[in-house]
Structure formats: structure tokens, C-alpha cells
Structure 1
Amino acid sequence: MALRLQSSDDLSNNHQGRTRMKLSPSEVQQEMEKVRTNSYNQFIKRVRLRNVRGFHDETVEFKTPVTALVGTNGGGKSTILGSAALAYKNIKPGQFFPKAFVGDESMSDWSVEIEMVDKSVFRDRTFSRTAKFTQSKWRRDDFRERHVEYVEILRTVPAGEISRFKKFLAGNMDDFNTTPLNANTIKYATAVLDKSIEHYKIVQKKDNPAIKMYVGATDTVAGYSQFHFGAGEASVIETIDRIELAPDNALILIEEVENGLHPVAVRLFVQYLQNAAKRKKLQIVFTTHSQDAVNELPADAVWASINKRTWNGKLSIESLRAITGEIINTRVIYVEDNFVKEWVENALGRYGKGLAESTKVFAAGGYPNLVKVSQFHNENPLLAIPSVALVDGDIYDANTYPALPQHARFIGEGYPDATVFQYIYDNRVRLASIIRQRCFLSQFDEDRILGALQGVMNSACDHHLYFTELSQRLDFVSAVYIRGGMIDIFNEENAEFWTDIMEFVSAQIGAKKAA
């Protein structure tokens, strides 16, 4: 029997039954195009923070309907989230930026410039508004209204410790209404939690519906209150219910989206957010420390905030630790994505002459992001050993090559995954038996493997999908095994490809930075 590892799509399908949440790559691109062409009735395009909580002058651009803010503790994620909320006058600034009578004197210089789309103001272009903190209060002249749903981190505090639940410790049921959950809340929360909540209800105080509690039920319909929910269960149900009940075109802000959730539920929940944004034309911004959440989004949807500096791209949580000095006295190489990370790590082991044991490779997002990240690393006085950036060769041009800084260079002259796959394909007959062994394909004869390789090449699929496509043609044998095996074969056969790269890496990070 062929060994098969579950992909993100598998998890989505297995946990959702008939509920499809995950957007296809083409749907993701379509949603990004809507943002690019200003097709939303209301949308925050970018925020520029000046002197706000340590941000000197940083701009965050929202390029996708769902945006993740990642970064270190105190790095500025929540500040960016709050700056987005300032865009609409029905949100009180003090909810995100309260001023104490002592210690907050610097707030007098704060300003947030917000570029936005609002078809009721201008149908054919964006416009800007600036929120300023002057004379001990926020000035927001001529700001618009929009429904904003702010899902705070308090949602995962045990129900017994939240003041609004005290009303449910004793009382009269005549003061409360009990209603079934919204149908979409049931549908999507069931998908994320992998358990039926069709018998769950919501109990709300008649004279103040904001005082509410969810009531669960077992398969036998034995009831239990939210006091006895798990933190993750309560978080998912309440957040999804608030999103589904919010009007279309709303702005949804979520603190620490992964709080209380299992990694599988985190991935499914982010898939739900993308699905909800598409269905309801929502703009969603969330903070997170979860790599599982980041992995579900395109690179343009991820912003990293580190020491009040911002970068757009899929910086891994591990790479953030390296940039900020949590991983010290270690040589560091920054690359664009996980494929190149595995490729370079394999090459270091083969040709690094001892560098592999003392060097970490981190995925830091596409060009020019990884070059900027490496520069930031090298300017960090906490880090004694410099870093280098290895840039994908698909943007290589002899005329622009000198533009790369001293700490960066290209890997080859094409797309990394295409470089590896093309070499394997060109030499497939000679390498057939080795491919069978290294890629864990012993259940297939060589003709079947060669036919699958030919089929992938004939399909002209996106180079990012080569290994996934080959996996599908070989009864879903793990694409991870196939990719790793082909990387190993390529590197073994192409020592000369890595000679200059290894010499560059050794020269750049072989010694400590000068004091």
C-alpha cells in the first residue's frame, strides 16, 4: 500500500465532511485582484504609523481580504491592528490607545494616516484620512462609519472569570431568551471543531442582548453551559457566530487567532476566515504567533512587525527568533521559502565543509524582503555573527546583479523548484532507479515513474506544483518524500552548482562581526 501523508487539503476535507472552506489558488488570486482594483465598497488599503508606540514611520499595506500580523511580543502587532480600527469613527480610539495620566506624554506626537476605499465618498479612487492625538484627545475629522467587529483575547478566559457571565450564576430564566445558533455558525464551527454543534443554543438577556452565553449539548442532547466549554471550543463558536452575524463589508479584527486552538483547528479556522471574507465581502485582520495560521495564507497576506519595523512576506516564526537575537551565536542564511530552505540545508550538509552544524537556514519571504531582513539582522548589535541572503534566481539579470548588497547573492538563474525538477526530468532515464529509491517509490516500477514524470512535464502546471502533481500521479505518495529525494539527487549530481555559493556563504558568515 502506498504511504500517504495528509496535506492541508486532506485535513480540510476530512474535518469538514461536505463543508468546503478552503479557497483554491485561483480563488485566492481572484480575491487579491478585487483588493488591487478597489472593488470593495469599503476597504482599508494601508496605514502609516508615525511616532505611535515606537513606530517612527512605518507603512502596512493590506493587499488581501485576510491579513495576518506576526511578530515578537511587544513588536507592534496589536498597534497595527488598533491603527486599522481608527479608520472608522464609530470605534472609540481609547479602546485601543488609552492614555494614562502618567507615562504617556509622547502620545502628543502620534498620528496614523489611513488610505481607504469607500464608494460612498469616491467611486473611482482611494482617499486618505489622518487620525492625530492632539490636546489629550484623538482628532479624526470627516471619518466614515463602518461595522467593526473586534474579537479580543478575553474570549479564551474561563467563563467563570468574565464579569458578563456573572449574570448566569443565578437568575430567572424569564429574563432571558433562548434561540438556536445561526445556521452558518453551526455549519462552519462544526467544520473547524470536527464535532457537531447543531443542538447548541445561545441564551441572551432580554433587556441587554450583549449579555449572552452559549449552551452546549452532547450527542444525546444532554445540555451544559459555557462554563464547561473548552477554551478553544468557546473561542471558535463565539468568533464564528459574531462574524456570521456581522453585516457584509464589515471589518473584523481578531487578537491572537490561535489562542486555545489545536494546530489542526488553527489551519481550518484560517481557511474559514478566507471563506467568510469571500462570501461576505469582509476585510479581516488578525494577530498571531502560529506558523500554522501563517502557512494557510499567501505571502502578500502576512506582515511581520519586529522591534517596531515592518516587513511584508512569510517570515516564519522561527526566523523571527533569529532576527531579534533569540537565536544567538549561530550563523544564519535567509532564503525565500521552505523549498529553498530544504535545498540549501541539503547542500550545506554535502558541501559546506562543517558549516551545516553551526548554520541555521530560515525562510524569510520573497525578494526584496529577505534581503531587508538579512540587513536588519546584520545591524542588530545583539548578534555577533552576520547573516546572508540567498535570492531565488528567477529575477536574475546581469544588468541588475550588482544591485544586490554584499550580504546577498542569487542561487542559479531560474526558479529553484523548476531548476531541480528540470534536471531530474532531463536525466530521468539514467536516474530512474535512483529516483525510485530516494523518493520512496519502491512500489512502482521504473516505467510508471518515468510516465508520471513525463505527464507532469506535459501538463505545463505551475512550477510550484510539480511535486504535488507528481504525487497525485503516483497514488498520492507523499510530495514531501518526492521533493526531498529529488533535492538530494540534484545536489549529489551538481557539486559545481554549489561551489561559488558555498564559498560566498563561508566568506560572509565564517567570522564574527567586527565590533
Structure 2
Amino acid sequence: MPQVPPTLSPLQHDWSTARNTSKGWPQFLESVQVSGLRGWSGERVEFRFPVTAIAGENGAGKSTVLKASAAAYTTSQQDGLTFYPDDFFPNTPWETVDGVALEYQIRRGDAVNTITLRKPSKRWRGMPDRYPRAVFYLDISRTQPINTLVGYGKIAKELNFPGQVTPFSEDDRALLSRIMNRAYVDSGMARHAGKQVGILTTATGAYSNFHQGAGEDATADLVALIRTAPNNSLVIIDEVEASLHPRAQRRLMTELFDISRKRRIQFILSTHSHVILEQLPTEARVYIQGQRTGPRGIIYGITPEFAMSLMDDKDHPELFLYCEDNEASVMVDSLIRQEAPEISGRISVVPVGAASSVTMLGDIATAGNLPAKSLGVLDADQPSHVGCIRLPGSLAPEKEAFQGLDDAAWEKVALRLDVRVADLLDAVDDAQQITNHHAWVRRVAERLGPRIRVTRVWEDITAVWAKDVVDPGVRNGFVESIKQELNA
């Protein structure tokens, strides 16, 4: 399991308890809806957490959402820039932009207002209705080091160091040091020809952007931006992981969570990184599924594994089964292996997040807009939905298995785990005292000792459940539904 950033839990606590109060996020962009632009036809993207990341293939529409979001507000000169739709979506010799509408749900305190910017023909309308808020937008061009610019040698000679350098504060220098895991003893920014030039000093001496890696350059720019962003700002970052290795990506997200909580800044990010996605809570992940025909699919709570499978170009199994979480995927696999093991190698069972993500994929699969044969698998406690089947029973997976196994079945689990049945039953009874059923399997593993893995406990429980507890006719019907889809 990925390590949870230590700054995430405090942010989640503040968000859940104070989001709509004066001590919370008094300004928040809740959603943007795009119509008539780059293939968008009224789809809405919601931002459900102070730090939200949008994933998707190139061309799916991530940058369109980020740019539209940047145009939602107006701001004073000292608080960033005021962005206009024409800054991002201009007419060109090849495109004429008209018939466009951008609709925003904007929360200010405890009131939610709707603002619409429209371009029915030649002019954008609705600009005076925009609310004031500091907005900062970092696009992918920040990752282009200054030494890749034409004439950069001339620029280097013209800079008059150190007089033109604005030093970082000690807090900003420490922030940069933590992200890059380097001991900077001094740091600052110069500006020339519209380009910020970072000056970093370590124990071995000072060096500028001209001799920095792209990751240092881009991160120094980000720190410089955050330094000037006032509380309650909206900060938008395209390709947040650009030029950073995985450990630096994790450290960056740790810092963004902390900054968002302390300064009530809203971050909207785009990413192609598994590492970035796994640092985020479920509600902070959004995936845009581009379609060959029809509207885009907006999937919330997507797992990092599923996001990567959608963006990967490797060969795919013949059928994808999309379920809510790892516990459900193991249960599905156990049913298939018990009833029809010969098809298991032709199927990939993928956890995708919340039930709403499974039903969304069921809709997209029914419309024929996924790249491979696909079927949603809902937990037994969920209602039926088109494009989906349901696990046997009527309860969530952990409840269905724990409450379905009798003492004889638990004895078989104990034999598989090579533990005393009395110890296992005591662990099971203890686990079921926990209100959150998602914690039951881990508690059983903890009670049985360090040599017993959590995943092994659940695999052995579901194997016995699939063989000895599930009615054979029900098990056969479940697997037959999968085989029919596989052979369709």
C-alpha cells in the first residue's frame, strides 16, 4: 500500500469540518461545465477536494478544463493575473471559436453562485459578472529550462547578479529543500526577458537555471509562485509531476496538502503520474475518458491502477471487469477460479474506486466507448445498473464473507493460513467489533501475527467462501454472465 502523506489527514479533517465556514475555504471553484469547445458538449467537471488532480490521455480535455478554470475569476494586478477565455481559446487561421459556453459553480462562504461566460459569435459575454479572486496558472512551458531558449548565452551575460536577485525567505528555501531533498543554503529569483531565473546555492556553491536540471528549475518557479499567492487563491498546475522523479513527486504532494490547509489555497492539477494519483484521496481524483462518439466520460474516485490501464498502450485482456476495490476484485477472482478457472487468464479484474465509478463505466461500456470488452461488477449491497452485474449476496464483500462463514468454514480458512482455529475465531470476533468493515481483514491479520499478510487472509477467506458458502447455482449464474460477455 502507498504511504499516506502525513499532511493529508489534517487537510481532510479541516475540509470535512470547516469547508463552508469562515475558517474553511471561503472561496472555492466547485465545478466547470464546457460546451461547444474542442469537442466538449456540456460535460461538467467537479472539484470535490482542495487539491484535485485530473488524469486522462493526451487530447482527452485536461488542459481545456484547467484553462477554463483559470478564466473563472477576475483579479487585481498584485494578486496574480486576470485570465480571459481568449487568452486560451483564440481564433486562429484554422479555428473559429464561437457557440461556446463556460458555466461555473462558485462557492463564496455558504452561498453557491452560477456564473456563465458565453461566446455566441464574435465576443465573449458575462465578463463583468466574474467574482474577484487571486488566480495563478502554471502551464507546461515552465519545464523548459532557460538554457534551451535561443540566445540564452546573451541573456546570461546581460543579467547583473546579484543585484537583480530577489531572495527566497527562509521558509521558501526550506520548502524547496524538502521537495528536492537538497540542502540549499541560499536561493532567489532574477527576471530577464520575461523569464524567471532561479539562483540556488548549496555547500558546493551557487548555480543558476542555466546549470540546473529541469526539475529544479520547474520546482523553483512553483515555490516562487506560491510565495506570492495570497490566502484563498486558486493555483492551477498543468502536468504537476513534470521533470520530477517519483520521490520528489511524493514530497511535492506532501507540501501542497500542507499549503492548502494552512493558507486555504485551492489547487487544480493535471497529471499522467501513478505516483501523484496514489497520494490523493479518492474524492480528489478525476479521470476524463475521451470518446470516439458521444459525450466524454467524467469518472470520479478512479484508482491509480485503473487510470494507468486506461492510459497504457500495452495489449489488453479480452475482458475487463471493473469493481469497486481490491476486496471486491479478490472476491470476483475467487468465484471465477472456483467455477471456470480456464477463463481467468483471459480476464483482468480492475478496482476502479467508488460504486459511482463502476456504474459510470457500465454506461460507457454499454455505449461501446471503451477500448476493450468491459463489464462492471457492483458490490452486493448496491442496486442493479446497466452494463453491470452484482456480486452474490446482499452485503458489502467483507460483511458477506465474515457473516456467511460458519465455524466449519472458518476451520478450513485456519488450515489454509496454518493457524489455530481458536486464534482465528477470536481474531474474527474482535475484528467485527470495528464499525468500519473495511478494517476487518487488517485487524484479523494483526491479531494472527506478523507472518500473516493482510492480502493472504482475504484471499483464503474468499476462496473458502466461493467454494463452500455461495450457492452453486448462484455462483454459476454469476460466472456465466461473465462468460457471455467474454464470448459475445
> TM-score per shorter chain, which class?
0.7 to 0.9
Quick one: distance in 1 between partners of 2:2 and 2:304? 19
Q: Deviations over 1:484-510 (max 9, x none)?
A: 333233313432438535533433453
Which residue does 2:90 correspond to in 1?
98
Q: Relative to 1, partners in 2 of residues 1:322 and 1:283: Cα closer, same or farther, differing over 3 Å?
A: closer
Question: How far apart, CA to CA, are the structure 2 residues paired with 1:365 and 1:37?
Answer: 29
Secondary structure of the corresponding residue to residue 362 of structure 1 = strand
Separation (CA, whole Å) in 2 of partners of 1:263 and 1:498: 46
SS of structure 2 residue aligned to 1:368: helix
**Is the 2:413–2:464 Cα contact (8 Å) retained in structure 1?**
no
**Alpha-carbon distance between aligned partners in 2 of 1:244 and 1:425, rounded to the nearest angstrom:** 60
Q: For residue 114 of structure 2, what is the aligned residue in structure 1?
A: 128
1:45 aligned residue (19, 30, 43)? 30
Structure 1 range deviating more: 460-469 or 92-101: 460-469
Q: Deviation per CA, 1:278-309: give whole Å up to 9, x if none.
A: 11101110011112212222222222111133
Alignment of 1:242 with 2:229, yes or no, is: no
Matching residue of 2:297: 309
Q: Secondary structure at the match of 2:299?
A: strand
Shift of 1:215: 2.5
Find the partner of 2:204 among 218, 221, 235.
221
Does 1:8 find its partner at 2:7? no
Q: TM-score under structure 2 normalisation? A: 0.83
Structure 1 residues 97 and 469, CA gap change in structure 2 (3 angstroms):
farther
Measured at CA, do residues 275 and 423 of structure 1 come closer, stay the same or move farther in structure 2, by a change above 3 Å?
farther
Unmatched 5+ residue regions in structure 2? 75-81, 291-295
**Structure 1 residues 487 and 173: alpha-carbon distance in aligned structure 2, compared to 1, 3 A threshold:** same
Write the letter of the residue equivalent to 1:136.
K
Whether 1:61 and 2:34 are equivalent positions in the alignment is no
Deviations 1:123-162 (A, max 9, x none): x421111111244342223212221111111222233114
Match of 1:23 in 2: 8
Q: Is residue 416 of structure 1 aligned with residue 397 of structure 2?
A: yes
2:139 aligned with 1:152:
yes
Distance 2:130 2:33 in 1: 16
1:497 matched to 2:448: no
- The answer (yes or no) to whether the contact 1:129–1:143 under 8 Å persists in 2 is yes
Cα pair distance change 1:290/1:320, threshold 3 Å: closer
Matches of 2:264 and 2:99, distance apart in 1: 35
Residue 409 of structure 1, CA deviation: 2.0
| Contact map agreement 1:68 1:294 (CA 8 A) in 2 | yes
Q: Paired residue for 2:175, among 182, 185, 188?
A: 188
Shift of 1:209: 10
Secondary structure of 1:375's match?
A: helix
CA contact under 8 A between 2:287 and 2:299: conserved in structure 1? Answer: yes
Q: The residue matched to 1:169 in structure 2 has which SS?
A: helix
Residue among 99, 114, 122 paired with 1:109: 99
Say if 1:223 and 1:381 are closer, same or farther in 2 by CA, change over 3 A.
Answer: closer
| Cα distance change, pair 421–164 in 1 and its aligned pair in 2 (3 A) | farther
**Cα drift, residue 447 of structure 1:** 8.2
Q: Which amino acid aligns with 1:251?
A: L
**Contact 2:417-2:457 within 8 A present in 1 as well:** no
2:333 alignment counterpart: 345
Q: Specify whether residues 501 and 37 from structure 1 end up closer, same or farther in structure 2 by C-alpha distance, changes over 3 A only.
A: farther
Once the 2 structures are TM-superposed, how far is the Cα of residue 452 of structure 1 from its aligned partner?
5.9
Task: Identify the residue that residue 510 of structure 1 maps to in structure 2.
Answer: 484
Amino acid at match of 1:407: C
Structure 2 residue matching 1:412: 3-state secondary structure: coil
Give 3-state SS (helix, strand or coil) of 1:494's partner.
helix
Normalising by structure 1, report the TM-score: 0.79
1:488 aligns with 2:460: yes
Q: Counterpart in 1 of 2:79?
A: none
Structure 1: tracts of 5 or more residues without a match: 1-5, 13-20, 396-400
